[in-house]
Structure 1
Amino acid sequence: MDFNAVYHRANDNFCYPLDKERLIINIKTGYDVKYVNIVQGDPFKEGILGGGETWTGEILNIPFKKRLKNQIWWTTTLEPQFKRLKYYFELQTEDELWYYFEDGFVSQRQLNMEGRSRQCFVFPWMNPSDIPVVPQWVNDTVWYQIFPDRFYNADASINPSYVLPWRNKGKVSNEEFYGGDLQGIKEKLNYLQELGISGIYLTPINESPSSHKYDTTDYFKIDSHFGSEETFQSLVQEAHQRNIKVMLDGVFNHCGSKFEPWLDVVEKGPDSEYWEWFLIEEWPFDFSKGAARNKQYYSFAFCDQMPKLNTNNPKVRDYFIQVCETWIKKYDVDGIRLDVANELSHTFCKELRKELKKIKPDVYILGEIWHDAMPWLRGDEFDGVMNYPLAESIKDFWIDKSLSKEDFEFMINRCYTGYMQQTNDVLFNLLDSHDTKRLRSEVHSIDEFYQQLATLFIMPGSPCIFYGTEIAMEGGHDPDCRRCMPWEEIEQGIYDESIEILKQLICLRQQEPLLKSRNFHFPNFYENPRVIEISKLGWIDNAVDIIMNCSEEEISIEEEGEILFHRHFSEGILGKNGILIRKDIR
């Protein structure tokens, strides 16, 4: 047996309570393992530990599995009668049987050896307060990310003198301002509602000298070039009347160079009452030589204008918790996205969650993390994270034509075995954002564009599109991805066809519960290695099948079931870059 391929631990995504009754058990093995049993029972079934007890458990087969590139992920759900569990595994290959304990592998002879220790895995207690609980509404939400300065300029009276005329086409920079505002978003709520959007994620709207607002000057003040507090309150109220949630962007890892506490530090140095609000190594600062890169103080990505805040400091934590409490109480926002969340202290994230959930129990706390985020997703910090690993995996399959549908399966399964199932339900799934190249400029054709979007809308989690995706807006890497929304052309009907396609995908996502489900597998029925097949299974005898032809040749498909969505499919033939989504009764 390939012992190196076997892994389990009795915590995190390998062993955790799904709710108050159910415990999820997962284990990785190599492909040489043909079946896995779990031997499980109550730890105190035969008496107290160390009391000379001889513990035996009930043997249950682990039936469900997902394929990873080099391992198999086996999973089962148990309901421990007394909320605790002791267990080990039986692993069977073609010709070997081994028993897997916390301290390693033993043979059948060793298992039955009198007096030999049996160091079982133990989940000691399913404490209700330790069970990761996520806001249920998030899985039903389709998000629309808005970069306010480039969305819609509706109130020219608040435009600064340097605002440029609105641009329907062409590249943009961070140094340019186009006057998009909160009133503009408010006036487009009907447009978003008709599109099928049920959540708006706004990049920062607090006072800042930049167009992107990630260099905050005042966290309690809405930037006057975006509008007033009353305008934002009205925007949230009208969004809620349309069943649209609103999420703000919290930039708490760093501030802007005009933030008053930082100005005080620059002026007074160690004598400033805010000295410990920042991570400073040397003073006075020499900005002419790059103070951050020379490690005089820490900043965001060596940017002198964005000094890093010390979220280990209780005063800093209290300040930003108060900021978030104000956003919820004053504006009734539904979610807060934490920028550069992986650099915030865990202490701050835990305190923030505790206090915000007191005010609004179903508030959505989202972290911007681009890598494995397990340390932040144990139920006491974030509800979810931006699912960039999924975005990169999807993109890679269409860029690298040597990848097969099995590779696609392995990549998708990796993204959904890294966290708890309830966390998977509220991952923030996206294909592009204000930080990346736009999807339309990343793909070779409009058909590939829609295939990737179709993939986004069938995955567990909460899908988000970047403003302009509905018209296949182009844009290079940051900051060119932040182009102006071409409303004049939209109103002329130039983009009606592309808008209608996205409406169909959003509507399908909203109306078909199985598309939101975490229960999926890859049938691999077709021999063509570039034909993706995904089945979303229901509890009754029904399923939604998704077939995408990413090859250079047409494929024949039996016409059965109810067709929910298709592109390049006719008379049983799915053409190149075609999509077929259908509902089957089985």
Structure 2
Amino acid sequence: MEPEWVEHSIWWHLYPLGFLGADPTGADRTPGRTLADLVPWLDHAQELGCSGIALGPIFASSTHGYDTLDHFAIDERLGTEADFDTFVAACHERGLRIMLDGVFNHVGRQHPDLLAALEGGPQAPTAGMFALEWDEHGRASIGDFEGHDLLAALDHGSPQVRRLVTDVMTRWCAKGVDAWRLDAAYAVPADFWAGVLPAVREAHPEVYVVGEVIHGDYVDIVERSGMDAVTQYELWKAIWSGLEERNLYETAWTMGRHEELLDRFVPWTFVGNHDVTRIASQLSDERMLAHALLLLLTLGGTPAIYAGDEHAFRGVKEEREGGDDEIRPPFPDTPEGLSSLGEPTYHLHQELIGLRRRHPWLHRARHEQRHLANEQLLYVMSPREGATDDGSGGDDGQSRDGDDGAPGGERLVVALNLADDGAVLPADPEIAGLPVLAGQAEATEDGLLLPPLGWAVLG
């Protein structure tokens, strides 16, 4: 069961090496801006409505951060451990939680333990840590990660690897980290995590752990591994694809799958991250950005906003060397350096994140579809049985407007129209009579009138 504080969490996710302008090739190791230079952005995240900062990889690595060289050291391109401490202190002063990216499936080919194993042969003290196959001449073939030969796979049957990961996670939790994203968790046996996470939680009971899982049986992975959640890639795909193709049947079908997951755990939800084409580039009609965000922030889950999406950044991921650079760009020194062109999208995020935070029961909420067509969808969100709201707004030190009180009987009605013309969505008089909390809608004799490419939340 996830920690109670997660119910109120909304994450601002950033990729530090790109954000701070470090050289992703690793050729230039000089620190320019450091992790301490993220501090001017914390108020931006908080004013957006987020309650946590999810960092991409920050440990010493050769290039892009996922080829780790030392899990116990900050990448020199991002500064020093003192810079990290400054960042942690500034986050906690603002009540912001911190998530680190745990890259524990593989390491870089220049990792000292791997080099020692290759030099020392199969009897070397570190040889058992890696997926190595030795020939009769004592030469090793190195197992890689999904064909990336610069990434050497760890052997997750090794007690040494289990101790390493446990030590890394507990060490950084002791430094103030609240949560972990487990990179490529789908490629690691679930029983490995089941052997690591209890020891981490014994030392840090409130730690939150989400695994990167793209395909597979999400529920089975969560329950066998002991992770709190996994990344909800099914919903991510159905949101942008359903909108782009104006096929809300696809979106609605996956919402049903999502509902089943929420019976067992609360997934990590998103419409953008450091590994995928930006949502503003996925959608050919920028007006649908609102619909994507509406779905993300009204459906159950633990939502994350990828830094820049709140200003409608564009960026296309390409399958080539350097193909991630466009979706991981440098940011200005401060938020004041952002273009004013993104302000309408920023304010939309504020509006819908604020709605979400005033209704924290949405974290586990159920949805009921009331109307579905290719270009229209109307659904009702209501608290899942056993949901509570003590009115405190969480423990993150951020205020909330509104007065939800106990969620019993409370509900939100969400309506989307993807058509270029206005549309009337059938709605019973009780729904049509609810006040509009966000967006635009008008009650008519026939139902709920939405403008072209319109949307609304009623409650």
Deviations 1:433-471 (A, max 9, x none): 111111111001111112111100011111011110110
Q: Is the aligned partner of 1:265 residue 2:265?
A: no
Q: 1:511 to 1:217 in 2, by over 3 A?
A: same
Report deviation, 1:226: 0.8
* Structure 1 residues 176 and 543, CA gap change in structure 2 (3 angstroms): farther
1:333 aligned to 2:177?
yes
Task: Show the counterpart of 1:473.
Answer: 313
SS in 1 for 2:150: coil
1:110-509 counterparts in 2 under 5 A?
133-152=1-20, 179-210=32-63, 212-283=64-135, 296-329=141-174, 331-371=175-215, 372-378=217-223, 381-401=226-246, 403-405=247-249, 407-417=250-260, 419=261, 421-424=263-266, 427-477=267-317, 478-479=323-324, 480-486=326-332, 490-491=337-338, 493-509=340-356
Gaps of 5+ in 2: 318-322, 384-406
- Verify the 8 A CA contact 1:140 1:510 in the aligned structure 2: yes
Q: CA deviation at 1:282?
A: 3.7
Q: Which has the higher contact order (CA 8 A, sep 6+)?
A: 2
Contact 1:148 1:180 in 2 (8 A): no
Amino acid at match of 1:137: W
Q: Are 1:149 and 1:179, in contact at CA under 8 Å, matched by a contact in 2?
A: no
Range that drifts further, 242-251 or 490-499: 490-499
Deviates more, 1:196-205 or 1:485-494: 485-494
Q: Contact 2:99–2:179 (CA<8 Å) still a contact in 1?
A: yes
Answer yes or no: is the 8 Å Cα contact 1:569–1:580 preserved in 2.
no
Question: What is the DSSP-based 3-state SS (H/G/I as helix, E as strand, rest coil) of the residue aligned with 2:223?
Answer: coil
Asked whether 1:531 is paired with 2:376, we answer yes
Q: What is the letter of the counterpart of residue 481 of structure 1?
A: I
Query: Separation in 2 of the partners of 1:581 and 1:174?
Result: 47
The structure richer in helix per residue is 2
Matched, 1:566 2:406: no
CA drift of 1:275 comes to: 1.4
- What CA distance in whole angstroms lies between the structure 2 residues aligned with 1:242 and 1:548? 35
Report the AA paired with residue 430 of structure 1: F
CA shift in 2, pair 1:523/1:410, >3 Å: same
Deviation at 1:482, TM superposition (A): 0.9
Partner of 1:128: none
Counterpart residue identity of residue 345, structure 2? S
Q: Tell me how far 1:187 sits from its aligned partner.
A: 2.1
Alignment of 1:23-62 (within 5 A): none
Give the secondary-structure state (helix, strand or coil) at the position aligned to 1:305.
strand
| Structure-2 separation of matches of 1:569 and 1:498 | 23
Q: Percent sequence identity over matched residues?
A: 25
Structure 1 pair 314/456, CA: closer, same or farther in 2 (3 Å)? same
Shift of residue 375, structure 1, vs aligned partner: 2.7
* CA distance 1:470–1:543, change in 2 (3 Å): same
The code of the aligned residue for 1:391 comes to W
Query: For 2:34 and 2:442, how far apart are their aligned partners in 1?
Result: 42
1:86-118 CA-to-partner distances (Å, cap 9, x unmatched) read xxxxxxxxxxxxxxxxxxxxxxxxxxxxxxxxx
CA distance in 2, matches of 1:252, 1:542: 42
Structure 1 residue 265: Cα displacement: 2.1
Instruction: Give 3-state SS (helix, strand or coil) of 1:484's partner.
Output: coil
Normalised to the residue count of structure 2, the TM-score between the two structures is: 0.84
C-alpha displacement of 1:543: 1.8
The answer as to whether partners of 1:489 and 1:495 remain within 8 angstroms in 2 is no
Pairwise CA RMSD of aligned residues?
2.7
Q: Which residue of 1 aligns with 2:399?
A: none
SS in 2 for 1:576: coil
Q: Give, in angstroms, the shift of residue 582 of structure 1.
A: 1.1
* 1:512 aligns to 2:359 (yes or no): yes
Q: Distance in 2 between matches of 1:176 and 1:398?
A: 41
Q: Does the CA contact (< 8 Å) of 1:429 and 1:464 recur in 2?
A: yes
Q: Could you say what secondary structure the match of 1:255 adopts?
A: strand
Query: Kindly tell me: are residues 320 and 220 of structure 1, through their superposed partners in 2, closer, same or farther at Cα, counting changes over 3 Å?
Result: same
Aligned to 1:548: 416
What is aligned with 1:581? 457
Counterpart Cα distance in 2 of 1:236 and 1:216: 21
The code of the aligned residue for 2:265 comes to: T
What is the distance in 2 between the residues matched to 1:207 and 1:522? 48
Contact 1:151–1:180 (CA<8 Å) still a contact in 2?
no
From the superposition, tell whether residues 562 and 173 of structure 1 become closer, same or farther in structure 2 (CA, over 3 Å). farther
For 1:191 and 1:488, how far apart are their aligned partners in 2? Answer: 7
Structure 1 unaligned regions, length at least 5: 1-132, 154-158, 164-171
CA distance in 1, matches of 2:157, 2:366: 40
Q: Do 2:179 and 2:208's aligned partners in 1 also have CA atoms closer than 8 Å?
A: yes
Instruction: State the 1:145 CA deviation.
Output: 0.9
Preserved contact between residue 151 and residue 181 of structure 1 (Cα < 8 Å): no
Distance 1:323 1:540, change over 3 A: closer
- Residues 428, 491 of structure 1: CA spacing in aligned structure 2 closer, same or farther, 3 A cutoff? same
Q: Give the residue type in structure 1 aligned to 2:211.
A: G
- Any idea what SS the aligned residue of 2:237 has? helix
Rounded to whole Å, the distance in 2 between the matches of 1:496 and 1:408 is: 28
The alignment partner of 1:325 has SS state of helix
Of 441-450 and 512-521, deviating more is 512-521
The amino acid that maps onto 2:451 is G
After superposition, the Cα gap between the structure-2 partners of 1:245 and 1:302, relative to the gap in structure 1 and judged at 3 Å, is same
**Which letter does structure 1 place at the counterpart of 2:205?**
P
Q: Deviations over 1:111-167 (max 9, x none)?
A: xxxxxxxxxxxxxxxxxxxxxx221222211111111123246xxxxx7xxx5xxxx
Aligned-partner residue type, residue 416 of structure 2: M
Partners of 1:380 and 1:254 in 2: CA distance: 18
Measured against aligned partners, the alpha-carbon deviations of 1:156-203 in whole angstroms (never above 9, x if no partner) come to: xxx7xxx5xxxxxxxx98989994531121221111111111111111
From the superposition, tell whether residues 380 and 208 of structure 1 become closer, same or farther in structure 2 (CA, over 3 Å).
closer
Change (3 A) 1:489 1:443: farther
User: Which amino acid is the alignment partner of residue 352 of structure 2?
Assistant: L
Are the structure 2 counterparts of residues 398 and 308 from structure 1 closer, same or farther at C-alpha, using a change threshold of 3 Å? same
Give distance in 1, aligned partners of 2:114 and 2:442.
60
> Cα offset for 1:239?
0.9
Q: CA deviation at 1:522?
A: 0.5
